[in-house]
Amino acid sequence: MSFNYRRKMNSYKIIHDNCFDWLKDQKHNSIMGVCTDPPYGVIEFSPSELEKMRNGNGGIWRIPPKIGGSQRSPLPRFTVLSNEDKEHVKNYFYEFGKSLLPCLCPGAHVFLAGTPFLQYLVQESMARAGFEIRGAIMRIYRSFRGGDRPKLAENEFKDICVTPRGSYEPWMLFRKPIQQKTVAANLRKWGTGALRRLSTEQPLPDIILSSRTPKCESDINNHPTLKPQHFLRIIVRSCLPLGEGTILDPFAGSGSTCAAAQAVGYDSIGVEIDDIYYSTIEFSISRLSTLYKNFQGDSLDCCKENGTKYQNKSQAGLFEQR
């Protein structure tokens, strides 16, 4: 197996490879945290489906209509997956969990972006692979998912919506079982087993008010599932409890996780199989990581820069330690 490694710049390394193949060759107990937005059995990110999306033909990707003259980003059609597709998702995450588990230090945490429609399948599979289910962080934001009237009968059923309008995105949290008798002992030996608090006074909440990815970020990289730096910096920072180690994103996509790691001062490794996405990652990391220079994921507020303010202090105050 030959890997195409780019040179290490600052604190990140980008690898052009299939993450399943790459994980097989990694040293056991060497990765201290994972944060990633996976492709859900590579159904929507298969070469044929990506080609349809890039050509605007849809396929499993829903190409939303223009609103106010602005074209919305494509969305994967998770609700149209067949039982066979769902079984494929279960098997995919079971194999992913089995491949990932040996590489992780005991107590290492894994953040996986999810969707309410498939969350239960992923959690079941990761648990079967040997991970502990540790709940989820809910990213609260107003999305364009759901809330639609019956297709081709919108005028007939004006007061009907097929599903609720989506307002949250679950980031499922898993942990490789600790090796020591206590979390404290595991932290001393491996540096893992817990999550980093926002501050001494404030733990990481399981609900984080967010926003749609702002234009200043999507202008850098138009990846269809680009996540906002505000949210990513918070959870990436929390993934290494002692503030030391390397974050892995096995489905690097736009490079936004590595950019968040760069911004909070962590080393990171990104693995990406798609040629086009891989070709843009270094450009994206160098620019996304320099946005919001005063924000390093250690609070729920994001400073107002580039015309963007994610949430105000009154919103952040919902989660202050009482």
> Could you state, in order of their start, the residue ranges of all structural domains in the chain?
4-319
Q: Tokens 């206590």 label which residue?
A: 182
Would you write out the chain's pLDDT as a tens digit for each of its 322 residues?
334 444 344 589 999 999 999 999 999 999 999 999 998 764 555 556 556 655 655 454 444 444 334 444 454 555 567 888 889 999 999 999 999 999 999 999 999 999 998 999 999 999 999 999 999 999 999 877 788 898 889 999 999 999 898 899 999 999 999 999 999 999 999 999 999 999 999 999 999 999 889 999 999 999 988 999 999 999 999 999 999 999 999 999 999 999 999 999 999 999 999 999 999 999 999 999 999 999 999 999 864 544 444 444 434 443 333 3
Q: Tell me what pLDDT residue 19 has.
A: 96
Give 224's Cβ-side CA count (13 Å radius): 22
Asked if 89 and 119 count as a contact pair (C-beta separation under 8 A), the reply is: no
Structure tokens that stand for 91 in this block:
């098997």
Q: Tell me what pLDDT residue 314 has.
A: 37
Q: Tell me what pLDDT residue 46 has.
A: 57
Q: Tell me what pLDDT residue 82 has.
A: 81
Q: Tell me what pLDDT residue 48 has.
A: 60
To which H or E segment does residue 122 belong? helix 119-128
Q: Tell me what pLDDT residue 52 has.
A: 61
Tell me the CATH architecture of domain 4-319: 3-Layer(aba) Sandwich (3.40)
Structure tokens that stand for 76 in this block:
């994967």
Q: Tokens 């307002």 label which residue?
A: 167
Q: Tell me what pLDDT residue 317 has.
A: 40
Q: Tell me what pLDDT residue 8 has.
A: 43
Q: Tokens 């503030």 label which residue?
A: 243
To which H or E segment does residue 279 belong? helix 275-288
